[in-house]
A = this chain, B = another copy of it.
């Protein structure tokens, strides 16, 4: 682990006695000691505040806030992925085939999500999705429509009034026109966020309908308008964001719902199966 560039800069730039005091204080407790105020640092180094400021200017930070931001960045780097914070693992054997590496990486992502999970938020979504008189309308962005569709399909098996709204060219505001307080919208929005979706979300908000949002940890701007938000890490080995955690979230939602309304959903499932078989007994023709 090479020393951070900032660390070296602090060390090499200290010239005069007071500056060296400042530098050594900084280095001793690097980087966490930088997380205080100028005056505290000054006191720790037994110098005056301006001296600290001047030194930092010298190493390239005209404003103290900039220096502190850099220090925080280093803290984050040292802590590594948030995963290490919550669940510190054995040294780990990473030398693997990309296939296995991907699977294991996603396994970790799931564990991280589980550790950070906030059941209350999750339950809030479930509450919205089980309300019997509501109509559930789902949509997503270019690459997350899939997810909306998947949830729609499964949800549609468990309860009535579920609509998947494809996000087609030109965009269909038809769904929005009829929207009212009785509706619950579910939006999937991941980077790069699509402005159309934000516009849509604002409309939802105005109509008085409820809004659930699935997004990445960077948080779509739609979050501001949502009643409940479920975020997921999306780090990936591929050039596209991972949808593994979201997929699991969707399944968890479905599981919770089918548990919540055990009877009604079981009946419904049975009935669907029945209807399907009914069709199968007829000679099925192609074309």
Contacts and interface: CB of A to CB of B under 8 A. Distances in A.
Contact of A31 (B7, B85, B248, B286): B85
A219 interface: yes
Contacts of A170: 284-287
Interface residues of A, number: 101
Given A20-B118, A23-B118, A46-B224, A254 B240 contact: yes
B124 A17 contact: yes
A256 interface: yes
A258 interface: yes
A176 to B, nearest CB: 11
A149 interface: yes
Interface stretch (A56-64, A73-81, A131-139): A73-81
Given A1-B115, A83-B88, A238 B255 contact: yes
Contact of A244 (B35, B124, B238, B244): B244
A143 interface: yes
Nearest to A15: B120
A182 interface: no
A251 to B, nearest CB: 5
Main secondary structure on A side of the interface with B = helix
Nearest to A222: B46
Contact of A111 (B7, B107, B119, B121): B107
Contacts of A78: 79, 84-85
Contacts of A119: 97, 99-100
B85 A228 contact: no
Given A21-B229, A120-B20, A238 B217 contact: no
Interface in A21-65: 21, 23-25, 27-32, 35, 44, 46
A163 interface: no
B115 A252 contact: no
A4 B197 CA distance: 37
A275 interface: no
Contact of A238 (B44, B84, B107, B154): B154
Nearest to A46: B224
Nearest to A76: B32
B255 A251 contact: no
